[in-house]
């Protein structure tokens, strides 16, 4: 009797649904599906835009400014006669790549240091936590303006700087998560099996905190898109005439009263993108809380 009880595999009702780290799926619901769909479409656009049969985004046609929708210009033209669709799609590419640059830098700094601090504790934890505190006190905009003025590194440099500013946020969350997972006896069991510390971090700790990485990445990607737009609007990010969601807004801001369309289209795309990323982040963190 007991043998039978013991050897029966314990399965949840329905198909085996892996939990905790084993590729667990979060239920998206329709807002999540829409949001994820929109983000994926934007990513696809970002990747494919050089290969699409589009007008030259920076080519001006001062004889045909603020044109309405036509077969030549599906979304019309802006105040300098540039094709709005081409500019919009290139802007999505520029802005997303800029945002991703910041996220990649932030994750590359924040994730390993956070994991190490939470796992090792001791002096490394103390020192890195203080550094994180210091970085967090620096106002992002002021630093970005300074870097632009002093170094003139262009949008990539600005986004790397932003990544450094974001790194402490990722660091803090990852440190806290690591401390939580590090108390799990399976880490000790892994040590007993002969795992090195690196292997423990990689195969035992990282899967346990992956969900939180996704949460942070979605939130911070939305935030960096907003900041990219902000600094490009101010002229310290992407430089005109190149199209980004920020430069499109700044160039057309004066048109708001006369031809709002030129402003509203990039603004709507930017807002939707940020909203979608936040919705995804919310769903991820909700799923994480429910465990």
Partner 1 sequence: MASEPGQTVLTVDNVTVELDRPHESTPLVTDVSFAVRRGEMVGMVGESGSGKSLTASAVAGLLPRGVRLARGAVEIDGRAAGTDATARTRHDGVAMVFQNPMTSLNPSMRVGDQVAEAIRLRRPGTSRRDARREAVEVLERVEITRPAERARQYPFEFSGGMRQRVMIAISIAHRPSVLVADEPTTALDVTVQRGVMDLLDRLRADMGLAVLLVSHDLALVGERCDRLLVMYAGELVEQGETENVLRRPLHPYVRALQRCTPEHAIAAGGLYSLPGRVPQAGEVRTGCRFAARCELRTAECDETHPTLDAYAPGHLVRCVHVGRPEQDHHHERRAEGGV
Task: Candidates 66-74, 105-113, 200-208, 218-226: pick the segment binding partner 1 (CB under 8 A).
Answer: 200-208
Say whether residue 9 binds partner 1 (CB under 8 A): yes
Residue in 34, 66, 74, 121 binding partner 1, rule: CB under 8 A: 121
Q: Per CB under 8 A, does 185 bind partner 1?
A: yes
Nearer to partner 1, 63 or 185 (CB): 185
User: Does residue 16 interact with partner 1 by CB under 8 A?
Assistant: yes
| Beta-bridge partners for 77 | 83
Number of amino acids touching partner 1 (CB under 8 A): 32
- Measured CA to CA, the distance from residue 279 to residue 200 in angstroms comes to 32
Alpha helix ranges (H) inside the chain? 2-7, 29-48, 84-120, 122-137, 140-151, 154-182, 185-193, 197-199, 206-234, 245-252, 261-290
3 binds partner 1 (CB under 8 A): yes
Cα 124 to Cα 6: distance, rounded to the nearest angstrom? 45
CA atoms within 13 A on the CB side of 127: 6
Inter-axis angle of helices 154-182 and 122-137, to 10 degrees? Answer: 140
- Single out the residue of 28, 129, 191, 264 in contact with partner 1 (rule: CB under 8 A): 191
Q: Does 156 help bind partner 1 (rule: CB under 8 A)?
A: no
Q: How far apart are CA 244 and CA 93, in angstroms?
A: 8
Q: What is the rounded distance in angstroms from the CA atom of residue 250 to the CA atom of residue 230? A: 9
> What is the Cα–Cα distance from 156 to 248, expressed in whole angstroms?
18
* Subset of residues 229 to 268 that bind partner 1, contact rule: CB under 8 A: none
Query: Considering only residues 127, 189, 253, 268, which one is a binding residue for partner 1 as defined by CB under 8 A?
Result: 189
CB of 16 to partner 1, least distance (A): 7
Q: Which of 71, 194, 257, 289 binds partner 1 (CB under 8 A)?
A: 194
Q: Please tell me the distance from the alpha carbon of residue 114 to that of residue 109, in angstroms, as a whole number.
A: 8
Residue number, 71 or 198, with CB nearest to partner 1: 198
Q: Does 20 bind partner 1 (CB under 8 A)?
A: yes
**Site for partner 1, rule CB under 8 A:** 2-3, 5-11, 16, 18-22, 121, 184-186, 188-195, 199, 203-204, 207-208
């Amino acid at each position: 009797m007991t043998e039978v009880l013991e050897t029966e595999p314990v399965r949840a009702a329905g198909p085996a649904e892996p939990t905790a780290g084993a590729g667990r799926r979060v239920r998206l619901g329709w807002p999540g599906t829409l949001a994820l769909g929109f983000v994926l479409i934007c990513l696809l656009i970002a990747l494919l835009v050089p290969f699409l049969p589009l007008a030259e985004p920076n080519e001006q046609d001062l004889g045909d400014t603020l044109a309405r929708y036509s077969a030549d210009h599906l979304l019309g033209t802006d105040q300098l006669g540039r094709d709005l669709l081409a500019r919009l799609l290139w802007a999505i590419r520029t802005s997303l790549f800029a945002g991703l640059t910041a996220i990649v830098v932030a994750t590359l700094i924040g994730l390993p240091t956070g994991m190490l601090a939470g796992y090792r504790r001791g002096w490394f934890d103390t020192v890195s936590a203080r550094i994180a505190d210091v970085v967090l006190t620096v106002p992002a905009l002021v630093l970005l303006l300074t870097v632009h003025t002093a170094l003139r590194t262009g949008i990539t440099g600005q986004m790397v700087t932003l990544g450094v500013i974001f790194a402490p946020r990722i660091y803090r969350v990852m440190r806290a998560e690591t401390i939580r997972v590090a108390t799990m006896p399976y880490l000790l069991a892994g040590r007993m099996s002969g795992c090195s510390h690196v292997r423990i971090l990689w195969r035992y700790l990282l899967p346990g905190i992956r969900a939180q990485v996704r949460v942070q990445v979605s939130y911070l990607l939305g935030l960096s898109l907003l900041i990219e737009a902000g600094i490009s609007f101010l002229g310290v990010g992407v430089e005109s005439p190149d199209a980004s969601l920020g430069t499109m807004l700044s160039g057309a801001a004066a048109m708001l009263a006369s031809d709002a369309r030129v402003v509203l289209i990039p603004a709507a795309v930017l807002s939707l993108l940020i909203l979608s990323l936040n919705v995804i982040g919310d769903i991820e963190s909700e799923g994480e809380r429910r465990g």
